[in-house]
Amino acid sequence: MDSPTQEASLKKSFKPSWVFAMALGSAIGWGAFILPFDWMTASGLGGALIGLAIGGGLIAIIGFSYGYAIKSLPVTGGSVVFAMVSLGRTHSFIAGWALTLGYAGIVALNASAVTLVFRVTLPNLFQRFPLYDVAGWTIYVPEIILASAFILAFAWLNWKGSELSGRFQLWAVILLIAAVVIIFVSLLVYFFTVQPELPSAIPTGTSATAAILTMVAFAPWAYVGFDSIPQLAGEFNFSARKALGLLLWGITAATLIYMTMMVATVIAVGTDHVAYEDSAWPPGEAIAEVMGPIGLILMVVAVTMGVLTGLNGFFAASSRVVYSLGHADLVPKAFGVLDARYNTPRNAILFVAAICLITPWFGRAALTWIVDMTSAGITFAYFYTCFCAWKIARTGQVAGMDNPLRRSKVQEVLSAIGCVLAVGFLALLLVPGSPGMLDTPALVALVVWVLLGIAYYFIMMKRLKDVSEDVTQEKLLQLHA
């Protein structure tokens, strides 16, 4: 018989190397291999590198709170539980609602990125049988089939067990790192032997401050994925005290990959920026011209591994969030059921897959609106985790902890800064004139999402009117490692 209880069913099988791979692989997606050409125009090499370093540092501050919270409460569904024990059931629901759609949206975006890779590398094979256009993006039958196939494949991978998804993540990340290192070293050799002319460190007509801040504003979304780790904490087969180091190494490695791809792209493009403006994939084409066909192959390997590790990592994280909500009756109980054979959150995985299978029919352009607005949800998770860590650091204990911790003034300050950063990241999305201001379609999607959440919240509260918050909290804390 299926059981929703963590103690009886969910396996503690995640190894440290798998957790590191989940953090890094989820944080690095297609953008690291597509966007450096755009960053050349907006920020230049100097502005981009400084901005990425600052952005990585800001995310690391939040990462300290994540590590501290995981050490204190290694619980499946992480941020949902952190919100519960620090602020109550309403905030726990908000965190879960935000993360479910946020993570599922990124799963869908990565599935669409698979079709983007094929659209660039094999356009004649997949750009056939057009159906219709959505926001200027043509929908092709083969691309719908391809994206759907990858969604189903990773649903199957996660259903079969965390051992399979964890091993896949590790080997895919190893391939990604190997491809990036070879590209970077090759371009450095090219630079020192040929000595090509490079563009100015800061674009002409752009101030250094503006160039750097443009990249800093990108940071909250460049590193989304490291935060998937607390959702899996109940399945660690090692001490949760190691989580902080794994998170910080993941953030550091992600920063270095962004930086190395930026340097490689600038060396390959040089001052001939105009020649690549009409290219479907400027970094790939420029690096291929320097390295030859092997360069294009390595770029395809790198971007493909970045996309697939994102698919896998966010599938795992989103299904655990839905599972924890179901376990606590914050969504239908069926989502809190584990597969009797594989001990995985079967119904939660199928739910995430079902949502994502709708998205290929709307195209990548429309999907980016959804993902843009779900970025707001990710910042809510940042805030709740930092607030929980702040409360633990200030008082030494919250509900569910086995033993109180010594109060930490340093962590209290770091967590308070993390809360401020989370609010600042949200402001970047919502304040008019800010660098990350959401477009109108994304704002409309955000309003619809919030209204749906409010409607479901009142339905849920009517159903739970006779259930105390202590009962809900206890159910979530049963997911303790």
Write the DSSP symbol of residue 298.
H
- Which residue is associated with the tokens 């008082």? 395
Q: Name the 3-class secondary structure at 30.
A: coil
SS3 percent helix, strand, coil of the chain, rounded to 5, is 75, 5, 20
From first to last of the 481 residues of the chain, give the pLDDT tens digit: 344 444 446 788 899 999 999 999 999 988 899 889 989 988 999 999 999 999 999 999 999 999 999 999 998 988 999 999 999 999 999 999 999 888 988 888 888 888 888 887 787 888 889 999 988 888 999 999 999 999 999 999 999 988 899 999 999 999 999 999 999 999 999 999 998 889 889 988 888 998 998 888 887 788 888 888 999 988 899 898 999 999 999 999 999 999 999 999 999 999 888 888 888 789 999 999 999 999 999 999 999 999 999 999 999 999 999 999 999 999 999 999 998 888 899 999 999 999 999 989 988 777 777 777 778 888 999 999 999 999 999 998 887 777 788 889 999 999 999 999 999 999 988 888 877 788 888 888 889 889 999 999 999 888 888 888 888 888 888 876 5
Q: How far apart are CA 29 and CA 106, in angstroms?
A: 10
Q: How far apart are CA 347 and CA 345, in angstroms?
A: 6
Q: Are the C-beta atoms of residues 116 and 140 closer than 8 Å to each other?
A: no
Stated length of the chain:
481
The reported pLDDT for the residue numbered 413 is 97
pTM exceeds 0.85, yes or no: yes
Q: Which residues pair with 236 in a beta bridge?
A: 14
Write out the E strands in 292-411. Answer: none
Tell me the angle at which helices 16-27 and 243-269 cross, rounded to the nearest 10 degrees. 40
The reported pLDDT for the residue numbered 47 is 93
Residue 329, phi then psi, degrees to nearest 5 = 65, 20
Q: Are the C-beta atoms of residues 59 and 219 closer than 8 Å to each other?
A: yes
Closest by CA to 88, choosing from 468, 481, 480, is 468
Q: How far apart are CA 238 and CA 424, in angstroms?
A: 34
The reported pLDDT for the residue numbered 251 is 95
Q: How far apart are CA 395 and CA 215, in angstroms?
A: 36
Q: Are the C-beta atoms of residues 236 and 481 closer than 8 Å to each other?
A: yes
Q: How far apart are CA 265 and CA 257, in angstroms?
A: 12
Domains of the chain: 16-477 (1.20.1740.10)
The reported pLDDT for the residue numbered 268 is 95
